Structure 1
Amino acid sequence: MPVALGLNFHHDTSAALIVDGQLYAAEEERWSGLKHHRPHGQHKGVLTSPTASLAWCLEAAGIEPDQVDVVWAAGMRPHPVGGQWLATEHEELSALLPDPLGQRLRLMSHHTAHMLSGYLISGLGHAAGLVIDAGGSPLGADFGPGRERITGYDLRPGHIDRVHQTLPGLCAGPTGVERVHHSLGHFYRNMAHRVIPPGDEPEGSMMALAAYGDPARYRKPIGELIHLGDDGTVRITAPYGSVDSRTPLMAGGRAWTQAGVANVSLSERADFAAAVQEAFAAAVVHTARHLRRLTRATDLVFSGGCALNSHLNGTLAQDSGFDGLFIAPAPHDAGTAVGAALYGWHHHLGHDPLPAPADAGWGPVPGTLPLRDVPEGWKSLGELGDRLGPTVAGLLAGGSMVGWVQGPMEFGPRALGHRSILAHPGVADSRDRLNTIKRRAGYRPFAPAVLDTHLGDWFTGDADPFMNRVARIRPEHAADVPAVVHHDGTARVQTVTAGHTGLGGLLEEFRQQTGLPMLLNTSFNLKGTPILRTAAQAAQAAAGLGLDALAVGTTLLVADHGQHAAPARGWAA
């Protein structure tokens, strides 16, 4: 019984286990209740063990630690704590693990772990690989000293060839030689802090706001910050490719700073966001085109935090000359645990890659919902069995908002129909109501989950099962589903097969009742907290958010809105 374990101890702490080809994976935040599993103000150099997620993976698979054959983790070489290195990264990580896992731990490049979290479940043979994030590990800096920023790969079965890399550079500064960070991930976040007020998720909010803006207004000053080389390199004017968002940026006669967000109109911020999105996308496409020339591959695999930019992803293959694009199901840092486990499974133990998944339901089931957990003002309709789908579809058709908790928890930042809030996509008020109860900016869109057999009838362009790219709504249908169509006529589509354990049956029931083969699907969580894990958390959150109904397994609860719902707060782990 071959067993491979992958771990991530850094941002988005997580664990992934492969046993006889079965993948188990979960993020530590779902137990701690802390988004990204990082307490506010915690130093970036502090390493955290995926204690609860690792324990669940082992228990779910029925495995003891001494049965694990190989243990791999993505290295990051964090900043020193208190100004000094206390131990090597390997020593620190090994000490966080129980015996004998610590003794078996090996480290790999952060970017390679990102890459393999996509490639080894893509089903592709020869492909180009692209990883872009804020920063990676010096373990993969084959082209010189420094941490990974942008990395390109030539991927073939059994081979991982690094063929392109952008690293930090050095330049003369006022106090001597200074390091210049050419990080597109840092650039996007840096700019987002200048247009998105504190309290809102910066990158996703800026991407949404960009749809309302005109990039021409700030195209020149923003475009001049990024320099594209003939060899595929990306150079960013200091300090805008780093975490420094306090240094003013002059654009349009205004000094843009993080502290000055509240003094700028929404329309100006939208134009700034549109120019940033355009310049960012152009830089990614520039690098992808270079990889197309280097590798001569016809398919691209994209991963790293920047691969969460669904607007970019919607046209990346077409714009860069590739026939196909595969985006890792969880391209953010938590996905490196999956990539590390897949590396151990395939390259270390010598087994075939896992087949391409249609879902990322790799986590724990929610458990049952005892009567004592039914919120005040709610009532249980009991176990509905086969009647659950038609009943919930009827509630949704009538405009209700339903918490939907079914089967194994999703891995990654998107709710894919296992821990979701669902609503009617044709009711325009659904978007405004959801943005209000989730305390999100009103310009942020919601995504549709669509039966894959009907995708082409409603949208142009490609989509995937992981809600990682936008497609364009066919103009004749835009008015039919206003709650899931963004200002620019796009939607971040999740395709759903009929056999999908979370949504397949419900989508078909809803289609039969309304004629619409899709539902609005958003994550089931409170503002500032992770997607929830258990049935009890779901009941607490449904009441706190003021939803109309909650389905956990085949149990259905409905709310009496004559009662006062509890205020929305974080859920208890």
Structure 2
Amino acid sequence: MPVALGLNFHHDTSAALIVDGRLYAAEEERWSGLKHHREHGQHKAVLTAPARSLAWCLEAAGIELGQVDAVWAAGMRPHPPGGHCLATEREELAALLPQPLGDRLRLMSHHTAHMLSGYLISGLGHAAGLVIDAGGSPLGVDFGPGRERTTGYDLRPGLIDRVHQSIPSLSAGPVGVERGHHSLGHFYRNMAHRVIPPGDEPEGSMMALAAYGDPARYRQLISELIHLGGDGVVRIAAPYGSADSCTPLKAGSRAWTQAGAAEVPLAERADFAAAVQEAFAAAVVHTARHLRRLTRATDLVFSGGCALNSHLNGTLAQDSGFDRLFIAPAPHDAGTAVGAALYGWHHHLGNDPLPAPVDAGWGPVPGALSLRDVPDGWHNLGDLGDDLGPTVAGLLAGGSIIGWVQGPMEFGPRALGHRSILAHPGHAGSRDRLNTIKRRAAYRPFAPAVLDTHLRDWFTGDADPFMNRVARIRPEQAAHVPDVVHHDGTARVQTVAAGHTGLGRLLEEFRQQTGLPMLLNTSFNLKGTPILRTAAQAAQGAAGLGLDALAVGTTLLAADHGQHAAPARGWAA
């Protein structure tokens, strides 16, 4: 019985285990209750073992420590003076693990782990691979000093060939020429901090706000910060491709800084965001086109933090000359644990790659609701069995907003129908009420979960099961589902197959009752906290958020009219 374990000790700490071809994966934040498993202000370089997610993986699979054959993790530490990073870091990480896992630990590059978290479950043969984020592993003697920023691969079965690597270089900034450890990931975050006031997630909020803006207003200013050179090279003027969002960026009479974001009128910030999104997308397409020429592949696999930009992903294949695009189900740092486990499973232990997934329900089940979990002002409608789907669909059709907790928890940053809040996508007032419930900016869109057999009736363009890209709503359909259509006519679509254990049957029931093959799907969490994990947390959260009902498994709880609790601030342990 071959067993491969993948771990991430850095940002978005996580664990993934493959046993007999089955993947178990979870993020440590779901146990700690801390977004990204980091205390506020804690530096990304702080190492933590994914102790509880690892323990769950082993317990769920029925595996003892000694049965794990391969243990892999992504390295991230910079070179010590005159030293060898991976050897030193391996010893440090191994000390955080119980034996014999520590002795068996091996390290791989951060970007390669990102890439394999997509490629090895894509079902593709020959493909180009692109990883873009703020930064990864040290590059070492093969590529010179610095860290991974943008990496390109030529991928074939059994072969991982790194063919393109951005290298931090000298760049001109407002204080002259300086070494700029720049990256497109840092650039996007840097600009987002200048646009989005504290309290909202900066990158996702800026991407949403960009749909309301006119890029022409700041196009020249932003374009002068990014130089697109030959061979796919992207250079960013210092310090705007770094973490320094305090150095002013002057535009006319205004100086854009992180501290001044809240003082800028929303319309100006939208125009600035639109220009940044346009320039960022152009830079990614520039590199992807270079990989198309280098590899001659017709398919592209995209991963890394920048692959969370669903607006870019909606047109990336078309704009860069690829026939198909596969985005890693969890392209953020937590996904490196999945990539490391897949590497151990396939390349180390010699097993066949896993099939392409249609869901990311790789985590723990929520457990059952008990009588003591029922919040004040709520009542238990009992175990409805097969009647749950029709009952919940009817509530949704009538405008109720419902917590939906079903089966294994999703891996990744987006709820995919296992730990979700659901609503009618066209019911008047639902969107405004949800924005209030989740304390979100009004310009941020909600996503539709759509039966895959009906996708083409409603949208043009491609979509995937992981809510990783936008598609364009057909104009004649937009008025029927306004709550999931963004200002620019797009929606971040999640396709749902009939056998999806979280949403398949409910979506079909809702379609039969309303004629709509989709639901509004947003994550079941409180602002600033991770998506919930357990049934007890779901009951607490449903009451604190003021939802109308909660379904956990086949049990349904309903709120007594007008008996909502005060907004909750965090999950109980």
Global fold match (TM > 0.5): yes
Which digits, 9 at most, give the CA deviation of each residue in 1:101-129, with x for residues without a partner? Answer: 00000000000000000000000000000
Amino acid at match of 1:136: G
What is the CA–CA distance in structure 2 between the aligned matches of 1:64 and 1:335, rounded to whole Å? 23
* Shift in alpha-carbon separation, 1:172–1:553, aligned structure 2, 3 A: closer
Query: What displacement does 1:174 show?
Result: 10
What is the CA–CA distance in structure 2 between the aligned matches of 1:357 and 1:562, rounded to whole Å? 42
What is the CA–CA distance in structure 1 between the aligned matches of 2:378 and 2:332, rounded to whole Å? 37
What is the CA–CA distance in structure 2 between the aligned matches of 1:185 and 1:501, rounded to whole Å? 34
2:241 is equivalent to residue 244 of structure 1: no
Query: What displacement does 1:220 show?
Result: 0.1
What is the CA–CA distance in structure 1 between the aligned matches of 2:291 and 2:492, rounded to whole Å? 26
Hey, what does 2:160 align to over in structure 1? 160
Does the CA-based 8 Å contact 1:113-1:337 persist in structure 2? yes
What is the CA–CA distance in structure 2 between the aligned matches of 1:321 and 1:158, rounded to whole Å? 25
Hey, what does 1:503 align to over in structure 2? 503
Amino acid at match of 1:138: P
Range that drifts further, 498-507 or 69-78: 69-78
Range that drifts further, 26-35 or 172-181: 172-181
Query: What displacement does 1:181 show?
Result: 2.1
Amino acid at match of 2:113: A
1:28-427 equivalence runs, <5 A: 28-77=28-77, 88-139=88-139, 142-170=142-170, 178-427=178-427
2:541 is equivalent to residue 541 of structure 1: yes
Structure 2 residue matching 1:476: 3-state secondary structure: coil
What is the CA–CA distance in structure 2 between the aligned matches of 1:386 and 1:517, rounded to whole Å? 20
What is the CA–CA distance in structure 1 between the aligned matches of 2:176 and 2:187, rounded to whole Å? 23
Amino acid at match of 2:536: A
Structure 1 residue matching 2:142: 3-state secondary structure: coil
* Shift in alpha-carbon separation, 1:481–1:325, aligned structure 2, 3 A: same
What is the CA–CA distance in structure 1 between the aligned matches of 2:354 and 2:495, rounded to whole Å? 20
What is the CA–CA distance in structure 2 between the aligned matches of 1:177 and 1:56, rounded to whole Å? 50
Amino acid at match of 2:315: T
Hey, what does 1:460 align to over in structure 2? 460
Amino acid at match of 2:398: G
* Shift in alpha-carbon separation, 1:570–1:141, aligned structure 2, 3 A: farther
Does the CA-based 8 Å contact 2:437-2:545 persist in structure 1? yes
Query: What displacement does 1:43 show?
Result: 2.7
Hey, what does 1:494 align to over in structure 2? 494
Structure 1 residue matching 2:285: 3-state secondary structure: helix
What is the CA–CA distance in structure 1 between the aligned matches of 2:256 and 2:467, rounded to whole Å? 32
Amino acid at match of 2:261: V
Does the CA-based 8 Å contact 2:543-2:564 persist in structure 1? no
What is the CA–CA distance in structure 1 between the aligned matches of 2:414 and 2:175, rounded to whole Å? 44
Query: What displacement does 1:539 show?
Result: 0.3
What is the CA–CA distance in structure 1 between the aligned matches of 2:331 and 2:140, rounded to whole Å? 18
Hey, what does 2:436 align to over in structure 1? 436
Query: What displacement does 1:569 show?
Result: 1.1
Query: What displacement does 1:325 show?
Result: 0.1
Does the CA-based 8 Å contact 1:73-1:105 persist in structure 2? yes
Does the CA-based 8 Å contact 1:108-1:139 persist in structure 2? no
Amino acid at match of 1:286: H
What is the CA–CA distance in structure 1 between the aligned matches of 2:300 and 2:495, rounded to whole Å? 20
Query: What displacement does 1:44 show?
Result: 2.6
Amino acid at match of 1:146: G
Query: What displacement does 1:92 show?
Result: 1.2
Query: What displacement does 1:533 show?
Result: 0.2
Query: What displacement does 1:143 show?
Result: 2.1
Query: What displacement does 1:357 show?
Result: 0.1
Query: What displacement does 1:145 show?
Result: 1.7
Does the CA-based 8 Å contact 2:171-2:238 persist in structure 1? no
Range that drifts further, 41-50 or 417-426: 41-50
Which digits, 9 at most, give the CA deviation of each residue in 1:519-541, with x for residues without a partner? Answer: 00000000000000000000000
Does the CA-based 8 Å contact 1:141-1:148 persist in structure 2? no
What is the CA–CA distance in structure 1 between the aligned matches of 2:488 and 2:97, rounded to whole Å? 48
Does the CA-based 8 Å contact 1:218-1:252 persist in structure 2? no
Structure 1 residue matching 2:77: 3-state secondary structure: coil
* Shift in alpha-carbon separation, 1:452–1:100, aligned structure 2, 3 A: same
Which digits, 9 at most, give the CA deviation of each residue in 1:430-472, with x for residues without a partner? Answer: 1111111101100000000000000000000000000000000
What is the CA–CA distance in structure 2 between the aligned matches of 1:555 and 1:525, rounded to whole Å? 20
Question: Hey, which bits of structure 1, 4+ residues long, moved more than 4 A?
Answer: 171-177
Does the CA-based 8 Å contact 1:44-1:78 persist in structure 2? no
Which digits, 9 at most, give the CA deviation of each residue in 1:219-277, with x for residues without a partner? Answer: 00001100001110100000000000000001243110111112210000000000000
Among all aligned residue pairs of Structure 1 and Structure 2, give the percentage whose two residues are the same amino acid.
Answer: 89
What is the CA–CA distance in structure 2 between the aligned matches of 1:320 and 1:392, rounded to whole Å? 43
Amino acid at match of 2:61: A
Structure 2 residue matching 1:386: 3-state secondary structure: helix
What is the CA–CA distance in structure 2 between the aligned matches of 1:514 and 1:313, rounded to whole Å? 31
Does the CA-based 8 Å contact 2:452-2:497 persist in structure 1? yes
What is the CA–CA distance in structure 1 between the aligned matches of 2:470 and 2:546, rounded to whole Å? 29
**TM-score, normalised on structure 1?**
0.97
1:522-561 equivalence runs, <5 A: 522-561=522-561
Amino acid at match of 2:92: E
What is the CA–CA distance in structure 1 between the aligned matches of 2:282 and 2:421, rounded to whole Å? 34
Structure 1 residue matching 2:151: 3-state secondary structure: strand
Hey, what does 1:567 align to over in structure 2? 567
What is the CA–CA distance in structure 2 between the aligned matches of 1:557 and 1:181, rounded to whole Å? 52
Amino acid at match of 1:26: A
Q: Any unmatched runs of 5+ in structure 2?
A: none
Does the CA-based 8 Å contact 1:111-1:140 persist in structure 2? no
Amino acid at match of 1:181: H
Amino acid at match of 2:196: I
* Shift in alpha-carbon separation, 1:172–1:214, aligned structure 2, 3 A: closer
Structure 2 residue matching 1:231: 3-state secondary structure: helix
* Shift in alpha-carbon separation, 1:53–1:408, aligned structure 2, 3 A: same
Does the CA-based 8 Å contact 2:73-2:108 persist in structure 1? yes
Query: What displacement does 1:176 show?
Result: 9.8
Query: What displacement does 1:428 show?
Result: 3.8
Query: What displacement does 1:179 show?
Result: 2.2
Query: What displacement does 1:560 show?
Result: 1.1
Does the CA-based 8 Å contact 1:133-1:306 persist in structure 2? yes
Range that drifts further, 485-494 or 258-267: 258-267
Which digits, 9 at most, give the CA deviation of each residue in 1:6-32, with x for residues without a partner? Answer: 000000000000001000000000000
Q: Any unmatched runs of 5+ in structure 1?
A: none
